[in-house]
Amino acid sequence: MSARYEELKGLKNLGQKYAYSDREVMLYAYGIGLGGDPMDEKELAFVNEGTLTPRPLKVVPTFASVAAWGSGPGEMNLNRVMVVDGERDITFHQPLPAAAHITADSSVLEVYDKGKDKGVVISHQTVLKNEKGEKLATLVASRFARGDGGFGGPNLTQPDPHKIPSREPDRTIDISTRPDQALVYRLCGDRNPLHSDPEFAKKAGFPRPILHGMCTYGITCRGVLQTYADYDPSAFRQHIARFSSPVYPGETVTMELWKDGNVISFEAKVKSRGVTVIKNGKTVLG
């Protein structure tokens, strides 16, 4: 077996310690666009803790994706300029508290070597736990390293993605993004200049900075929250999405949703450019 494959597959980092407060919770909610209407009480519940009538601050389920920002199985020594997000799959074991001290256990699940000049897909898992050691969320991420691969890993096939129903969507909603949204969302942890520096974005092949894929991921969670979950974070059991094309800040994201029992399938598009930005999306409610 390839030494490089064994090196990547063996990466593991347990007991990483993190803490967050309601400030980070509200910043994330605002970063994915909640609170755009300051009179909308349903959205204010995620971005405002200071109310005359006391109520608990709600936490967007996909806040789990930034609650332990920077955690991971270890240094992968990849060509970072060529690395893009492939997929996110979060399983929610219990609602996230509005503030917490947590630990993160990260490990590589599998390495899919597509061959020389074809890149490699690395799937890794991070389990978030509270101070009692109880699981809060399990995050599975796949990153596509376009500048790596061809090191002789086993010939493995990635699992098939969730299949979207062939019928017309049951619901379609439009979610607008702000021109400055990437500048806000980056404060949740991802300071990649691709999302903030016009010069860097052009060197990477984009006409201007793009929105974080994980911000788009959060936007799809928001879409399910406001449609089939009635703004109840505790209803979420799982949220999966594949990234297929970037969103530019200021664009409108159109979500198409299909409901089959407790499973919500979804895709997201930017109609003005005729592109699909999220594919094979699935939320499990319960």
Cite the active site residues.
Answer: 190, 195
To which H or E segment does residue 143 belong? strand 135-145
204/191 Cα distance (integer angstroms): 15
Q: H-helix or E-strand containing 252?
A: strand 252-260
DSSP code, position 63: G
Matching residue, tokens 């895709």: 267
Give which of 260, 259, 262, 265 is closest to 282, Cα–Cα. Answer: 265
CA 106 to chain CA centroid, nearest Å: 16
198 sits in which H/E element: helix 198-203
Residue 164 near residue 257, CB atoms below 8 Å: no
